[in-house]
Structure 1
Amino acid sequence: MTNNNKVALVVGASRGIGRQVAIDLAKNGYAVVVAAKSTSDAYATKPFPPDPNSSQSTISTVEREIREAGGQAIAVSVDTRDPDSIQRMLDETVKVYGHLDVLVYNPGAIWWASVENTPTKRYQLMQSVNALGLYASVQSALPYFKANGWKGRIIVVSPPIYSRFFRGKTAYAMGKVGMSVLTKGLAMDWEREGKKDMAITSIWPACSIESAATGQITSTDPEAVKDLRKPTIYSDAILAMLEAPVERVNGQLELDEDFLRSYKGVTDFSKYSVVPGAVPRRIMPAVMPDLTVAEQADEGRRTDSTKLRASKL
């Protein structure tokens, strides 16, 4: 079918941040594909809407929330560990809505521990859901962005690159930083290829966000809730990124608070505090390192493996 709205695919949208992003994109006129692994009978869920950070919140209930608020949405189940499942998700998105404008990749497998205390199977799971899932989603989306005249945006939930992030969670950081490397590298590809209407941007929270993951912390330390922000800060920042010029956001590794401050001029973030009047502790550095080098423009003799392989056939 043909859809005149912009179409956004939000992967990892069953609860927490992803749910909020999907709902707010719909409120702002996007037709939204709500994708994740969990499904349910949304009309049997009581009370409705469910706690957004509970297992009762699924892509089915999020789809219902959006539709009952007057928005457009479909729910598509996906296993982000499986590239074939990801391909089916992209195909279904375009089959239903006719095109793709925005891809938001939000899923995240988390295990914060030392290398010694991170089993290989846990590492494999994180790599599959985080780095591999993103890569497969981008690969499956690119032909549809090409069909759209190379016009589109990709938003990746991954961090700025700095050494403190690796401490105490090295296995997790390897995947998440890899996602940020994809943001940087794909942006450079597009710049080199003259794709002036494509942008990929990473976003990460400056302060902890209320979610199922942080709920595990506050369940044992009730005072920790004072350090949480509502997920609306994330969706507000993403909406601002989507309206920003390509040259402002392509290849950038942004923090939600800092982007809203620099691009939208926001100075008062009190409305995002979970506890009214509380000032959540910032968990990110105030200034990030510059990843460029003096020889940034010098690529030397560039190697293209696809051309090398073709020459041997």
Structure 2
Amino acid sequence: MVTNMAPSHKVALIVGASRGIGRQVAIDLAKNGYTVVVAAKSTSDAYATKPFPPDPNSPQSTVSTVAREIHEAGGQATALPVDTRDFESVKKMVEETIRIHGHVDVLVYNSGAIWWASVENTPFKRFQLMQRVNPEGLYATIQALLPHFRNNGWRARIIVVSPPIYSRFFRGKTAYAMGKVGMSVLTKGMAMDFEREKKHDMAITSIWPAVSIESAATGTITRTDPTAERDLRKPTIYSDAILAMLNAPTKVVNGLLALDEDFLREYAGVTDFSKYSVMPGSSPRRIMPAKMPDLTVAEQDDEGRRTDSTKLRATKL
């Protein structure tokens, strides 16, 4: 595992950090010197939780227990409640983070709602939940943080849990894909804004697993089919990839829609991934394509007559 790669004064806000991947990212960033703020909807009395630590993929794992784990390992952590569907709750989370720690250097947006089914079999309320937690929650969190990034001289990193954009991803889960791909569009769009506005110390990057990762979601499968563990990796691959992204130059990662395994191989020099297998000695099946499509076009730099709605609105007032 990567260690000692970040100065202790850096603050990372991890939204969706109560269990699974988010918990692991929080723990490993803390091990690497970050002061972490762990935020999610679920909180608890961490010192009343027994046994401790709880199963990291169970409802007993909350941001409160994650913060306690980090404290007992010698790290710095603050647990905050947030409902990413509610912009006022998101703003309160950000304001409290700034009040306590003064600034935010890293945002990891890991909150997510999932429902994989056809449109016919996806109720509207389920569709609406996914849009509110996934793209809207991400947008709200970034909107709330932008004034603070400005005050910090536009020096920050944003990591988004969303996939590369390719057509096979939509199959069998259109409603879910609409939101997740929307998050990746935000990554691409903001990256171009940072570049055009010469915010060279800002970068936004998306990350997605190349192989299924052990989590609460995959746990529903392994409970009925224990052999499915051979196709799972530990969440440490995700946190190692994120640490590598945070230590890469902004020009390398800004606007990148990356897979954890591929980024570690191409930019961190990792060649042996066996330590990440949940089942020792197994070779987990890759679920993502080996090569992703290039989304650019020949006229990439031709914006035509670019319209700025804020300026148009100002002229009408």
- Match of residue 174 from structure 2: 170
Distance, in Å, in 2 between the alignment partners of 1:141 and 1:257 is 29
Q: Equivalent residue for 2:83?
A: 79
Q: Which one-letter code corresponds to 1:5 in the other structure?
A: H
1:125-160 superposed Cα distances (whole Å, 9 cap, x missing partner): 000000000000010111111111000000000000
Q: Which amino acid aligns with 2:12?
A: A
Pair 1:144 & 2:160 matched: no
> Partners of 1:164 and 1:217 in 2: how far apart?
22
Superposed CA offset, 1:142-192 (max 9, x none): 111111100000000000000000000000000000000000000000100
Q: Which SS does the other structure have where 1:87 is aligned?
A: helix
Return the match for 1:239 from 240, 243, 250: 243
Identity %, equivalent residues: 80
What is the aligned partner in structure 1 of residue 260 from structure 2?
256
Residue of structure 2 in register with 1:201 after alignment: 205
Aligned residues of 2:8 and 2:34 also touching (Cα < 8 A): no
Could you say which residue in structure 2 is the equivalent of 1:35? 39
SS of alignment partner, residue 116 of structure 2: coil
- Post-superposition, which runs of at least 4 consecutive aligned residues in structure 1 deviate over 2 A? none
Superposition pairs of residues 209-224 of structure 1, within 5 angstroms: 209-224=213-228
Residue 191 of structure 1 corresponds to which residue in structure 2?
Answer: 195
Q: How does 1:1-313 map to 2 (within 5 A)?
A: 5-313=9-317
Q: Any unmatched runs of 5+ in structure 2?
A: 1-6
Q: In the aligned structure 2, how far is the partner of 1:221 from the partner of 1:295?
A: 49
- Supply the AA of the counterpart residue of 1:82: D
Report the Cα distance in structure 2 between the residues aligned to 1:80 and 1:225, rounded to whole angstroms.
31
**2: CA distance between counterparts of 1:67 and 1:35?**
15
For the residue of structure 1 that corresponds to 2:107, the secondary structure is strand
Q: Which amino acid aligns with 1:295?
A: E
**Alpha-carbon distance in 1 for matches of 2:214, 2:11:** 27
Tell me how far 1:220 sits from its aligned partner: 1.4
Partner SS state of residue 210, structure 2: coil
Which one-letter code corresponds to 2:130 in the other structure?
Answer: M
Q: How large is the Cα RMSD of the aligned pairs?
A: 0.8
Shift of 1:4: 6.2
**1:173-232 deviations in whole A, cap 9, x for unaligned?**
000000000000000001000000000000000000000000001111211110000000
CA distance in 2 between partners of 1:299 and 1:79 (Å): 37
Counterpart of 2:183, as a letter, is: M
Partner residue in 1 for 2:4 = none
User: Do the aligned partners of 2:15 and 2:111 also contact (CA within 8 Å) in 1?
Assistant: yes
**TM-score w.r.t. structure 1 length?**
0.99
* Cα separation, 2, equivalents of 1:49 and 1:218: 21
Distance 2:78 2:208 in 1: 26
Paired with 1:115 and 1:36, the residues of 2 have a C-alpha distance of 28
1:155 match: secondary structure: strand
Unaligned runs of 5+ in 1: none
Write the distance in 1 (CA, Å) between the matches of 2:178 and 2:125.
Answer: 15
State how far apart, in whole Å, the 2-side matches of 1:145 and 1:9 are.
13
1:43-98 Cα shifts (integer Å, max 9, x gaps):
01111111000000000000000011111111000001111100011111110001
SS in structure 1 of the partner of residue 12 of structure 2: strand
> How many residue pairs end up in the alignment?
311
CA gap of 1:221–1:139, structure 2 versus 1, over 3 A, is same
